[in-house]
């Protein structure tokens, strides 16, 4: 983030950001102040906004590529969890005046690659200077058949609880990057750090969600925290089976290493966040159909528990974890990242 | 912006921002990570994003009410200039952790009033902490009959150039607020400062634009600068008649005061920005119809020039100003605010 290669806003848009809108007819080549979107007939649009700021959501010396991948994944993940396919996004960057052209170019190059992954393009944006930052706000827009957006508030008592992919890799990857976990203790460290620096939103699960999900949420704050958000919005509680939470081989090896503190490490997995997996609920009658549906995906889909009535055996808890014997596993401390809490 | 009344993100959303989404069915009560919009049949959606950051777009001690009004006006104005009626908006606030609940409440109360003015509601958002700021990004979404969004790139040689309202009041108002203009010299100072602290986007002109405009842009950077953007996008040049540029009675009195430097003051009017008026172009055949149409509006619509071929009598200039005798008025310096230029 040097002051070399300083660049004016109009040049920045033309040289760095306009290529991201090429081939995206909605964006009008970024010439106008707004983009025009023609939704497909019979579709609703879904809109989500997320901000990432230096020093809070990423470190000042994080590579711009990582910032780009994480910013887009966070937003596309919100859309996927609502059963929506992404259409495009706007990008607002407020950055210190000295942020280098090289930073912008690396950032934009990575956005170009991620856009292609998701089949979307840049719709428009705003590049401004600020004291502090950079701070990036992406607003992603997706499309869903009319009336078919999947909410977090519509889970029902008795529904199964499912999750895509594996949980906790990104948190362990961050621990390695920040030297809380030593690479010697994590021989497959690269596969873990990759989940943190190059997260991929699960748009592949959108069809399955549309066919089966009664409610859904993406896992960004931490598995237990996000299940808690879903349970609270649905006015139920959730039981999670510890042994069913899907863990990658690399994370599994760490959990089983002597002296790694398996229990506190497991707590880290399910509370660390940045997974960008999708938790969803579905009727028990759909189990076989979901498992069959999941065969065509390039990531696993695991049944990890169920929604239950509030109160009774689980008292005031929104989310209870049980071990293989059925005993309650106590997870101390907050279940996920809360802004403003530090 | 004290650290008193510190508040957590979830409480902030529930207490301060959720009321802004009440009565807005699209927002799902801000419970989900995304809002769902059902466009009216046969309509396109228009999306625009603008960021305002402390120390750049507003002063650290600006009242939160002013920040709220300006942030929403800037975005709604972009929609209006595209011929779109606003539907709703998302709000991302990245703020120092110590920003007080009183600041948020005053900010939200003013948003509530401005929302009502424009007939829109909050769709969703993100509240995060950051080092520096606050920095606010609003993404506004509007609706336009399919294929009828008005662009800045479609003005034609020979078209008349029109503008809504009056130009320059906000710039003079800012000069008064920052003590560059003495209140004694500006006896109607309040009407000028009001245009800066309480700008109102011209959604009233949307119908007229839909009926007559060949191209349009809103006036945010400065009248001449924004006309230049339109001319450049349309591959033409623009002639502006100095005497036809609409000026408020308060600004007129200042221009005519001895010793106020009428010419440099006039330059300030047409380059100052923050007007949130709309410049549009239309066929000369539509003059009478536009004037009749404008009768029903509560602000004037003035014909201030025309689009002409590039080159020839105006050489390399994109925008040329002429006085009543037809002589070219030279406007020195940049024609509008450029981020990153300071």
- Helices B223-234 and B262-271 sit at what angle, rounded to 10 degrees? 50
For residue B132, give the DSSP letter.
B
Give the pLDDT of residue B3: 33
A56:B130 CB<8 A: yes
B49:A129 CB<8 A: no
Looking at the predicted structure, is the pLDDT value of residue A4 above 50?
no
B84:A139 CB<8 A: no
Of B124, B125, B246, the closest CA to residue B195 belongs to: B246
Give the pLDDT of residue B4: 38
DSSP A19-66: HHHTT-GGGGGG-SSSEEE-PPTTEEEEEEEEEEEBTTTB-TTS-HHH
Looking at the predicted structure, is the pLDDT value of residue A200 above 70?
yes
A128:B51 CB<8 A: yes
The answer to whether the Cα torsion of A22, A28, A32, A38 is positive or negative is negative
Q: Pick A34's closest partner by Cβ from B47, B92, B94.
A: B47
Give the containing element (helix H, strand E) for B69. helix B64-81
A90:B54 CB<8 A: no
Q: Pick B50's closest partner by Cβ from A37, A126, A130.
A: A126
| Chain A residues near residue B51 by CB distance under 8 angstroms | 92-94, 126, 128, 130, 137
* Confidence category of residue A184, pLDDT binned at 50, 70, 90: low
* Confidence category of residue A93, pLDDT binned at 50, 70, 90: very high
B339:A94 CB<8 A: no
Instruction: Note the helical H segments in chain A.
Output: 9-12, 18-21, 64-81, 101-118, 169-177, 189-197, 206-212, 223-234, 249-256, 262-271, 287-294
> Any idea which residue has 């906004």 for tokens?
A49
Q: Pick A47's closest partner by Cβ from B10, B37, B146.
A: B37
φ, ψ for residue A338, nearest 5 deg: -120, 125
Residue ranges of chain B with per-residue pLDDT less than 70: 1-7, 10, 23-33, 183-186, 260-262, 313-315, 332-342
List residues bridging with B320 in a β-sheet: B239
Contact, A1 vs A104, CB < 8 A? no
Nearest CA in chain A to B77: A33
A31:B141 CB<8 A: no
Count of A-B CB contacts under 8 Å: 241
The answer to whether the Cα torsion of B103, B107, B108, B112 is positive or negative is positive
Q: How far apart are CA A82 and CA B341, in angstroms?
A: 41
Mean pLDDT of chain A: 88
Give the pLDDT of residue A239: 96
CA–CA min distance A342, chain B (Å) = 9
B39:A57 CB<8 A: no
Mind listing the pLDDT tens digit for each residue in A312-331?
766 678 999 999 999 988 87
| Chain B residues near residue A151 by CB distance under 8 angstroms | 28, 31-32
* Confidence category of residue A3, pLDDT binned at 50, 70, 90: very low
Best mutation target, A126, A134, A337, to test chain B (most B CBs within 10 A): A126
B45:A31 CB<8 A: no
Mind listing the pLDDT tens digit for each residue in A236-292?
999 999 999 999 999 998 888 877 666 788 999 999 999 999 999 999 999 999 999
| Chain B residues near residue A131 by CB distance under 8 angstroms | 53-56, 132
B135:A133 CB<8 A: yes
CA–CA min distance A136, chain B (Å) = 9
Taking the CB of residue B137, how many other CB atoms lie within 10 A of it? 33
Percent of chain A residues past pLDDT 70, beyond the cut:
88
Taking the CB of residue A3, how many other CB atoms lie within 10 A of it? 10
Percent of chain A residues past pLDDT 90, beyond the cut:
65
- Residue A22 tokens read as 């090429």
* Confidence category of residue A34, pLDDT binned at 50, 70, 90: confident
| Higher-scoring residue by pLDDT: B333, A106 | A106
CA atoms within 13 A on the CB side of B47: 37
- Residue A324 tokens read as 């293989």
A46:B55 CB<8 A: no
Q: Pick A33's closest partner by Cβ from B38, B90, B218.
A: B218
Q: How far apart are CA A132 and CA A229, in angstroms?
A: 32
Give the containing element (helix H, strand E) for A303. strand A301-308
Whether ipTM exceeds 0.85? no
Best mutation target, B11, B34, B76, to test chain A (most A CBs within 10 A): B34
Q: How far apart are CA A227 and CA A235, in angstroms?
A: 12
Percent of chain B residues past pLDDT 70, beyond the cut:
88
Contact, B246 vs B167, CB < 8 A? yes
> Any idea which residue has 């590579």 for tokens?
A63
pLDDT mean over A202-206: 98
Give the pLDDT of residue A5: 46
Best mutation target, A18, A93, A137, A231, to test chain B (most B CBs within 10 A): A137
Residue/partner pairs of A186-194 with CB below 8 Å, 24 or more apart = A186/A250, A186/A254, A187/A253, A188/A249, A188/A250, A188/A253, A189/A250, A191/A248, A191/A250, A192/A248, A192/A250, A192/A251
CA–CA min distance B224, chain A (Å) = 16
């Amino acid at each position: 983030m040097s002051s070399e290669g300083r660049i004016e806003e109009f040049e920045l848009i033309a040289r760095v950001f306009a290529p991201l809108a090429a081939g995206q007819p909605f964006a009008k080549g970024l010439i106008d102040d707004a983009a025009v979107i023609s939704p497909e007939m019979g579709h609703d649009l879904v809109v989500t906004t997320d901000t990432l700021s230096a020093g809070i959501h990423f470190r000042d010396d994080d590579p711009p590529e990582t910032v780009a991948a994480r910013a887009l994944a966070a937003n596309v993940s919100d859309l996927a969890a609502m059963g929506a396919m992404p259409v495009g996004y706007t990008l607002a960057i407020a950055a210190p005046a000295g942020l280098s052209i090289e930073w912008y170019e690396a950032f934009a190059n990575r956005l170009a690659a991620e856009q292609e992954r998701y089949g979307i393009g840049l719709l428009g944006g705003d590049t401004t200077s600020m004291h502090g930052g950079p701070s990036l706000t992406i607003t992603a827009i997706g499309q869903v058949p009319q009336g078919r957006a999947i909410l977090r508030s519509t889970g029902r008592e008795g529904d199964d609880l499912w999750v895509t992919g594996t949980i906790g890799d990104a948190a362990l990857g961050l621990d390695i990057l920040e030297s809380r976990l030593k690479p010697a203790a994590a021989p497959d460290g690269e596969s873990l750090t990759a989940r943190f620096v190059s997260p991929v939103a699960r748009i592949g699960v959108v069809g399955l969600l549309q066919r089966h999900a009664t409610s859904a949420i993406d896992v960004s704050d931490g598995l237990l925290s996000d299940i808690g958000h879903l349970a609270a919005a649905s006015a139920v509680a959730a039981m999670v089976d510890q042994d069913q939470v899907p863990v990658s081989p690399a994370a599994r090896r760490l959990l089983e290493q002597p002296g790694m503190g398996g229990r506190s490490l497991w707590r880290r997995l399910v509370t660390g966040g940045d997974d960008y997996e999708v938790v969803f609920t579905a009727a028990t009658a759909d189990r076989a159909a979901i498992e069959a549906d999941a065969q065509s995906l390039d990531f696993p889909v695991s049944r990890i528990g169920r929604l239950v009535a509030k109160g009774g055996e689980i008292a005031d808890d929104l989310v209870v974890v049980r071990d293989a014997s059925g005993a309650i596993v106590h997870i101390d401390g907050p279940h996920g990242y809360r802004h403003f809490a530090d």
